[in-house]
Structure 1
Amino acid sequence: MLNSLDLPGRPEDTRVVVAMSGGVDSSVVAGLLKRQGYDVVGVTLQLYDHGEAIHRKGACCAGQDIHDARRVAETIGIPHYVLDYEQRFREAVIDPFAASYIAGETPIPCVACNQTVKFHDLLDTARELGADVLATGHYVRTRPLNGRRALFRPVDLERDQSYFLFATTPEQLEFLRFPLGGLTKPETRELARELGLEIADKQDSQDICFVPTGRYSDLINKLKPGAAEKGEIVHVDGRVLGHHEGIINYTIGQRRGIGIAAGEPLYVVHLDADNSRVIVGPREALMTHRMRLREVNWLGDDALEALPEGGLEIYAKVRSTRPPRPARLLREGDDIIVELDGGEHGIAPGQACVFYDSDGDAARVFGGGWIDRTERARDAESAFAAPNDVQAAAANG
């Protein structure tokens, strides 16, 4: 007979390491599992220490949160360890984030953190501590399906974190558990109160945890002095409209703060890092129809190489805040392509594209990949007559 974590044996004979960030969600996971009788060990990672981030609302994995995690562990009566992962976090998450941003991409460090520090390094540490599973406070669900564990969206779609977990491997999913997948956030907070946790009403973490000012360009300037090269702001039709202080100050889809006066609304269409150019144009220039992906992680039953010749009908999610949209997953030689039905505005290289089998709360996650290049829809492509180099850069972000 299996216990509530789908493992054989009694809860008291099952050791669970809980990744405790100091927030409400992971604290409730630890408290629930302890109440159910499991042998719970709490582990908190110290990932960075940027001074002001210690007390900044919305931060995580720094001073105040470590204190909160320790206090929760004392309240529920479990052992608690703090591990210094600052150097590893810098190498695996912060430095690649900076390099990607300088290259004109829009990186998502939360995925990289889960992919490397949390679900690789911490997972290994959990095994060293004799754990049977590693549990986290993410809002996703897993269950056995066709001989292995599959990943699904949670009940509370407003808290859906499956987008950030697409890179989790099948082997990692076997060792991971997500006890909050069947709960809503209000239910989680109510459980925190039942468990007597003082952090029941604590604010959720926001934005990127290691950017204390909320300005990415400040961090890039600090980590990579001189990376902000000046250059031209160029319209998709080839006109030079002005100059900028560095492409790190811009993101794809940006409208405000571009720094030029024009008689029409202009958006950042592409960041040409090789030539230090910010390419701008009307909103229709942002319409993306196809994406070429790199580093695809596949969680489907059949091998990715076995995709049907005409492609696989899927739902694709290109932003964490947007619902999955109908799409087609294709293989062209060694390239993995996603074609979006109807297209979508403002997709940028460096973002993630995550695959689902539907758009509901029972949707299964088929994996995903990093967007390497985007291609505009043909009708948007024909609307411009820019010189070849500017047109090519804007069309193939």
Structure 2
Amino acid sequence: MIQPSPDSAARGGPARNSLGFAKPASATRVVVAMSGGVDSSVVAGLLAREGYDVVGITLQLYDHGAAISRKGACCAGQDIHDARQVAARLGIPHYVLDYESRFRQAVIDEFAESYIRGETPIPCIRCNQRVKFKDLLATARDLGADCLATGHYVRRVIGEGGAAELHRGRDPRRDQSYFLYATTREQLDFLRFPLGDLEKPAVRRLAEEFGLIVADKPDSQDICFVPNGDYAGVVAKLRPEAKEPGEIVDEAGRVLGRHDGIIHFTVGQRKGLGIAAAEPLYVLRLDAAKRRVVVGPKAALARNLVHLRELNWLDAAPIPAAGREVTVKLRSAQPAIAAVIYPDADDAAGARLELLQAEYGVAPGQAGVVYDGERLLGGGWIARSGAAGKGSLAA
């Protein structure tokens, strides 16, 4: 059962339901973003069981028969069918909204452009930011909903000042807060995450209990519009110029080999370079303008300065000029590391991170997501990074 919001009895206010509203569940309309997977299906099941006025919405993000997608991918084909079946089982209304054009413009096109610039993008963050938590949230409001619920493994916690905070999911193996750093305070007021305190096995058991056809459905391992993890293939179809060959060079500019397009490489990569050397070589940076892949020893990857752009800051207190001690994740699968965050003197919309220990493989286009313990403070896109004392930052 969903736990009641902690901002009710502790304040001596009116009794609140499990989603934090001072009214019965039956009088609380909740739109559930239903992707057709087990997580969002269980969210709908939990809320329906508690008696909420639940409406399921599935976004059709692209034609599942298109060249860049795969049958059964998230929010296409089979998933839409599964979401519809789950809604029927739960006895809740379900709608499918065509967002193909919007998704192509807001997510897929930028994904391709980012690779061409020599970055390593994360389209899931842009999808949450520009589609799910913007357009879908607006649709939920239009339907008279009190909130929008999703199947993300994160926690919405009411802080001491009464404002909603975003915290890591209770299960560190499932935590998805990294992908939600761009959520605004206004959006967080309207969002709910019923799975934040659960582990995946418990969610599957609930799906079985509810009799849902998706109880054993495997989790998607790829970006939803990328077949079999072939990012380069997708980008090449969208932007054929991305396949232009170029040189693989060392830090001094000496040519060591050739490549078939910088879209095949990311900062920190060691395998697949296709060159022989006396010591292991890693991708240090990608020079998109010259179509060059610059490689070198692992020591040359060390970075302890990171600049973030498009910073989204959720804490009410601004970043102090003297800096603030935090932890930061620079890739979704890596643990958070200690750092100090400062305002960026060169970018009023950005921030500067000084890492307490050098990190290897910091890639432009990835996200730097900042935490205070379990609480997510905000984050931004990695614009560039460098090593202290060298006087310059790598693009």
Structure 1, unaligned runs of 5 or more: 383-391
1:25 and 1:137 in contact (8 A); partners too: yes
Matched, 1:375 2:389: no
Q: Contact (CA 8 Å) 1:54, 1:63: kept in 2 or not? A: no
Aligned partner of 1:221: which letter?
Answer: A
Cα deviations across residues 225-279 of structure 1 (Å, max 9, x unaligned)? 2232221111113321112121111111111111212221111110000111100
**Which of 78, 86, 90 pairs up with 2:92?**
78
- Picking from 76, 82, 85, the partner of 1:62 is 76
- The answer to whether residue 309 in structure 2 is matched with residue 294 in structure 1 is yes
Check the 8 A contact 2:64/2:70 in 1, yes or no.
Answer: yes
Give the distance between the partners of 1:82 and 1:328, measured in 2 at CA: 44
Partner residue, 2:12: none
Say which of 28, 31, 40 aligns to 1:14.
28
Q: Tell me the secondary structure at the aligned position of residue 157 of structure 1.
A: coil
312, 327, 330: which one aligns with 2:324: 312
1:192 to 207, 210, 213: 207
State the Cα distance separating 1:135 from its structure 2 match. 0.1
Distance (whole Å) between structure 1 residues aligned to residue 345 and residue 363 of structure 2: 23
Letter in 2 for 1:71: Q
Q: Distance in 2 between matches of 1:198 and 1:221?
A: 36
List aligned pairs for 1:256-267, cutoff 5 A: 256-267=271-282
In structure 2, the partner of 1:242 is: 257
- Note the residue ranges of structure 2 that are not aligned, 5 or more in a row: 1-14
Q: Distance in 2 between matches of 1:334 and 1:377?
A: 17
Instruction: Kindly indicate whether the alpha-carbon contact (under 8 Å) linking 1:17 and 1:43 is maintained by their aligned counterparts in 2.
Output: yes
Task: Letter of the 2:111 partner, please give it.
Answer: F
User: Which residue identity does 1:220 align to in structure 2?
Assistant: V
Residue of structure 1 in register with 2:342 after alignment: 330
Counterpart residue number, 1:40: 54
Highest RCO, 1 vs 2 (Cα 8 Å, sep ≥ 6): 1
Partner amino acid, structure 1, of 2:32: V
Q: CA deviation at 1:54?
A: 4.7
- Structure 2 partner of 1:155: 170
Q: Following superposition of structure 1 onto structure 2, how do residues 77-116 of structure 1 map, counting pairs within 5 Å?
A: 77-116=91-130
Distance 2:62 2:269 in 1: 29
Distance 2:242 2:110 in 1: 14
> Which one of 370, 385, 394 corresponds to residue 355 of structure 1?
370
Q: Tell me the amino acid that sits aligned with residue 372 of structure 1.
A: A
TM alignment of 1:125-274, pairs within 5 A: 125-145=139-159, 146-274=161-289
Retained in 2: the 8 A contact 1:142–1:152?
yes
**Aligned-pair CA distance for 1:301:** 2.2
Conserved in 1, the CA contact under 8 Å of 2:70 and 2:225? no
Shift of 1:147: 2.8
Task: Identify the residue that residue 284 of structure 1 maps to in structure 2.
Answer: 299
1:310, distance to aligned residue in structure 2 (A): 2.1
The residue type equivalent to 1:176 in the other structure is: L
2:134 aligned with 1:120: yes
Asked whether the equivalents of residues 50 and 212 of structure 1 are also in contact (C-alpha less than 8 Å), the reply is: no
Q: 1:50 deviation in Å?
A: 4.2
Alpha-carbon distance, 1:3 to partner: 0.6
Quick check: 1:285–1:376 contact (8 Å CA) kept in 2? Answer: no
- Please report the TM-score for the alignment, with normalisation by the length of structure 2: 0.92
Counterpart CA distance in 2 for 1:124 and 1:331 is 32
**Alpha-carbon shift at residue 288 of structure 1 (Å):** 1.3
Please state how far the C-alpha of 1:217 moved relative to its aligned partner: 1.2
Write the distance in 2 (CA, Å) between the matches of 1:3 and 1:109. 35
Query: Matches of 1:227 and 1:250 in 2, distance apart?
Result: 12
**Paired residue secondary structure (2:299):** helix
* Contact kept? 2:64, 2:77, Cα under 8 Å: no
Change (3 A) 1:68 1:6: same
With over 3 angstroms needed to count, the CA separation of the structure-2 counterparts of 1:41 and 1:347, relative to structure 1, is same
Q: Which amino acid aligns with 2:383?
A: D
Q: Secondary structure at the match of 1:227?
A: helix
In the alignment, the residues of structure 1 paired with residue 384 and residue 308 of structure 2 have an alpha-carbon distance, to the nearest angstrom, of: 7
Paired position in structure 1 for 2:10: none
- Measured in 2, the distance between the counterparts of 1:207 and 1:347 equals 21
Whichever residue aligns with residue 47 of structure 1, its letter is L
Give CA-to-partner distance per residue, 1:170-216, whole Å, 9 cap, x none.
00000000000011111111111111112111101112110114211
| Kept after mapping to 1: 8 A contact 2:247/2:293 | yes
Residues 1:340 and 2:338 aligned together? no
C-alpha distance in 1 between matches for 2:213 and 2:311? 41
Q: Distance in 1 between matches of 2:320 and 2:89?
A: 54
TM-score, normalised relative to structure 1 = 0.92
Aligned-pair identity in percent equals 61
Aligned residues: 375
